[in-house]
Structure 1
């Protein structure tokens, strides 16, 4: 399934930008840690940036760089958050560095690449907001072990973990994508609300929630973009909600 067919060309540019950064003198980053992500986790956050941008202006090099930056941050956070789970506790080739040292170093490298990419693209003005995002993700990571159950608990703490670890990045992607395109504050806020609700739905699905349990967030995301005029981009954002709401079509299990 290729739900992002409309923006395949733009996504390809993002992936190409990132692949260049994966090559370092010591080798290729994927030789040191697992950087394989499913279909949605490879594309969803960059797609949020691109689609939000396209609602207001054509995609530029700054858009592509920003989309790459958000994906660098996502990948770095995942590498760091799962350090103790790396290789399921087994040492690769008998070398314990693959369990702890390499994931930490690669995660730090990816965080560094987010900053250099901002500089190269001339969008350092987003540094503060992105640094705040990283802090939120890490706070969620600290709290997460306290609420490990995949069952949907009716507690504010559990929801807060998902919001910090997952949803805020979706919201930031949508908001900044619109901002780099010159959108007004009201439109950016609507897209932020769309992103936060999609992120909550996706985060809950990752933790084993049912479609019934995410219905509130799907409805809220749809309401957030109702004021935008019809367009191919809006249709795609709506299609994403339909896809997430399909029973047993769990997006987080899909691969390319």
Structure 2
């Protein structure tokens, strides 16, 4: 298994998103102000729950990508700020819903909202945030951007249902798993990057390039998350190491280990994940099998492959600081584990 490198350590070594953060800082200040104002409600529980998650230290990577691709496309206007806030609201809503579906206890190192306010409130506040996101999209007045983000919302929901259908199914293939994460994770990355050039009225080739960048980055991002669950530290993950295992989630390291294992090893995966019969020492055994079959290293290698495709997608844009910053964002996502 490869060595896991913490965000902060890697950033200090020069591979981080400092340049991207700096270039989008002024617009992200406006995005954050808009997020705060749009979580306001006379129903006290709504801002409480929304702010519990929104203020809990997320990197805001998706809205930063919206701001960055708008700048890359030479957009002049204010629409990108509302679209970036809408993207963050969509992301936050999916996290609130995910934690209910997955029965997760932790989110970003804190108790999940469902643990404090209950499942019903978490789902309903997620719905409120989705409503606010669509309201901001309409205010921007771009039918193209509205189409892209509303389609993404439907695809994300489809991905959630696909994941439910595949839950605890150790027979899941790599292609089937990739289809889930393309819908569940990569769709919002793709949409976040695509709306920038759309509102800038750029040529179709540039819009497609930004979409491809986001989609491939999203797959790489999720694959690294999958690897980190079996080789990270809970302080960095914002959840407990092995949560995916305990929840019976079929992720790529599991898919590869199951396929490459012998009959006795496959029986172990079926007992632990399919039957939910997790015993003391099973997580250590799971990690040991992943090391034996190179499953974590290969998951990271696949992430690198998608990261290269993300960078290649932007090659039609001229060299410049924003393009370099977007390239570095790919490196940042992948450098979390190597």
Give me the TM-score of the superposition, normalised by structure 1: 0.84
- Structure 2 counterpart of 1:214: 303
**1:245 has 2:324 as partner:** no
2:224 touches 2:334 (CA, 8 Å); kept in 1? no
- Structure 1 counterpart of 2:68: 51
Question: 1:96 Cα shift?
Answer: 8.6
Distance of 1:244 and 1:96 partners within structure 2: 29
CA-to-partner distance for each residue in 1:205-225, whole Å, 9 max, x for gaps?
122254323121011111111
Seen in structure 2, the aligned counterparts of structure 1 residues 247 and 78 have a Cα distance that, compared at 3 Å, is closer
- Bigger Rg, which one: 2
Distance of 2:192 and 2:115 partners within structure 1: 35
- Structure 2 counterpart of 1:68: 85
- Paired residue for 2:185, among 149, 155, 166? 166
Seen in structure 2, the aligned counterparts of structure 1 residues 38 and 6 have a Cα distance that, compared at 3 Å, is farther
- Paired residue for 1:232, among 307, 321, 325? 321
CA-to-partner distance for each residue in 1:73-101, whole Å, 9 max, x for gaps?
11111211221456739xx9xx9992211
**1:204 has 2:204 as partner:** no
> Mapping of 1:20-39 within 5 angstroms?
20-27=37-44, 29-32=46-49, 34-36=52-54
- Structure 2 counterpart of 1:254: none
2:221 touches 2:334 (CA, 8 Å); kept in 1? no
Distance of 1:24 and 1:49 partners within structure 2: 26
Question: 1:105 Cα shift?
Answer: 1.1
Give the paired residue count.
242
Seen in structure 2, the aligned counterparts of structure 1 residues 244 and 96 have a Cα distance that, compared at 3 Å, is closer
- Paired residue for 2:35, among 2, 7, 18? 18
1:211 touches 1:247 (CA, 8 Å); kept in 2? no
> Mapping of 1:84-163 within 5 angstroms?
84-85=101-102, 88=105, 98-147=117-166, 155-163=174-182
Shifted more, 117-126 versus 158-167: the winner is 117-126
- Structure 2 counterpart of 1:253: none
Q: Which runs of 5+ in 1 are unaligned?
A: 250-256
Question: 1:9 Cα shift?
Answer: 1.1
Question: 1:122 Cα shift?
Answer: 2.8
Shifted more, 28-37 versus 138-147: the winner is 28-37
Distance of 1:99 and 1:233 partners within structure 2: 42
1:86 touches 1:99 (CA, 8 Å); kept in 2? no
Give me the TM-score of the superposition, normalised by structure 2: 0.65
Distance of 1:224 and 1:96 partners within structure 2: 41
Seen in structure 2, the aligned counterparts of structure 1 residues 203 and 248 have a Cα distance that, compared at 3 Å, is closer
Question: 1:132 Cα shift?
Answer: 1.5
Q: Which runs of 5+ in 2 are unaligned?
A: 1-10, 12-16, 228-295
**1:181 has 2:181 as partner:** no
2:67 touches 2:84 (CA, 8 Å); kept in 1? yes
Question: 1:26 Cα shift?
Answer: 2.1
2:181 touches 2:222 (CA, 8 Å); kept in 1? yes
Question: 1:28 Cα shift?
Answer: 5.8
What CA RMSD, in Å, does the superposition of the two structures yield over aligned residues?
2.8
